[in-house]
């Protein structure tokens, strides 16, 4: 990778991945794009282009202008918001992806886009979910993610585009606010623990979901991007996870630092239904074997760092 472009760079993943790529490959070699401009978001000298991912021609123009060789496509509508606006979610998630893949094909770019545990459904094996298994999601977000995995497979086999992707679990970060995802409680709970010493969860007790701290997600993405293409078998849909948690287990971890922390519940039926359709814990063996995935943070280590980082903010 010499010249990298990110779509949706101001989102939860993009904000931190852009900074990590700048540090490793040089600020001038990373082009951040998003539908809106945020001054100073990526530091002094950062290269930023305003881009609506639905405008395929503008994306192509930017890729040519900056001589891009790697596209990281992050622009998407997340699960809870997508369920409220299914037609728009499909349009953004699928046509935006198609635009990006077409540019990657035309310009011979390496291509990465994330999938999600949302690509699974209620008929999927819930515990130790295999890399290859039944995928019958019941949310529009999940349907779009399954279609995305297949579309990336198609562009690899049909056109030789070097496509790659990870099935991300819930991602926890102290830098960006929740963005409409089903797993967002695991971000907001830390902010509220510091601010109010209490939190009201929109997911019910005992709702286990896979999670991963953002540094591990960034590390996994960069490791996959740098892997030799010939080593990759499940190239567009690797299961990755670091922990399986429910609201009570996160609260228990927080109480090791804030003993008076209180957790209550006001269950959101939309997000609860989505969460119940997803696995409790997925098997990341293929990612470990094929490109060396190795998460560094468990729940307690993540909690200690989250609380440390959130307090100054």
CA 75 to chain centre: 10
Q: Which residues pair with 199 in a beta bridge?
A: 263
* Spatial contact of 94 and 53, defined as CB atoms under 8 Å apart: no
Question: From residue 127, how far is each of 21, 34, 172, 275, 284 by CA, in Å?
Answer: 34, 36, 21, 14, 12
- Cα angle 76-80-85, degrees, rounded to a multiple of 5: 70
As a whole number of angstroms, the distance between CA 11 and CA 13 comes to: 6
Q: Which of 115, 119, 116, 121 is nearest to 152 (CA)?
A: 115
CA distance 112 to 149: 11
Burial of 40 (0-12, 13-18, 19+ CB in 10 A): exposed
- 8 A C-beta contact, residue 194 and residue 257: no
141 is catalytic: yes
The residue to which tokens 């540019």 are assigned: 103
Where b means 16+ CB within 10 Å and e means fewer, 151-188 reads bbbebbeeeebbbbbbbbbbbbbbebebeebbbbbbbe
Q: Of the listed 25, 37, 141, 208, which one is catalytic?
A: 141
Catalytic residues: 141
């Amino acid at each position: 990778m010499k010249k990298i472009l990110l779509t949706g760079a101001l989102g939860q993943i993009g904000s931190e991945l852009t900074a990590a790529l700048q540090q490793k490959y040089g600020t001038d070699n990373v082009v951040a794009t998003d539908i809106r401009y945020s001054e100073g978001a990526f530091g002094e000298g950062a290269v930023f282009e305003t881009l609506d991912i639905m405008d395929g021609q503008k994306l192509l123009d930017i890729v040519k202008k900056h001589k891009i060789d790697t596209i990281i496509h992050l622009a998407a509508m997340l699960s809870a918001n997508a369920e409220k606006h299914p037609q728009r979610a499909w349009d953004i998630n699928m046509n935006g992806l198609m635009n990006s893949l077409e540019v990657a094909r035309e310009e011979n770019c390496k291509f990465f886009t994330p999938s999600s545990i949302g690509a699974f459904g209620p008929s999927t094996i819930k515990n130790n979910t295999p890399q290859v298994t039944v995928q019958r999601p019941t949310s529009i977000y999940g349907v779009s993610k399954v279609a995305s995995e297949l579309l990336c497979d198609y562009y690899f086999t049909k056109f030789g585009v070097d496509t790659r992707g990870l099935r991300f679990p819930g991602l926890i970060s102290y830098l960006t606010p929740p963005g409409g995802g089903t797993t967002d409680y695991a971000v907001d709970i830390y902010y509220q623990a510091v601010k109010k010493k209490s939190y009201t969860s929109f997911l019910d007790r005992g709702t286990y979901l896979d999670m991963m701290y953002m540094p591990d997600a960034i590390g996994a993405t960069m490791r996959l991007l740098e892997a030799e293409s010939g080593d990759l078998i499940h190239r567009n849909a690797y299961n990755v996870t670091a922990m399986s948690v429910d609201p009570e287990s996160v609260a228990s971890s927080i109480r090791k630092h804030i003993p008076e922390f209180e957790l209550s519940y006001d269950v959101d039926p939309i997000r609860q239904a989505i969460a119940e359709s997803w696995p409790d814990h997925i098997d990341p063996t293929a990612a470990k074997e094929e490109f060396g995935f190795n998460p560094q943070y468990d729940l307690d280590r993540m909690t200690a760092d989250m609380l440390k980082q959130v307090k100054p903010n």
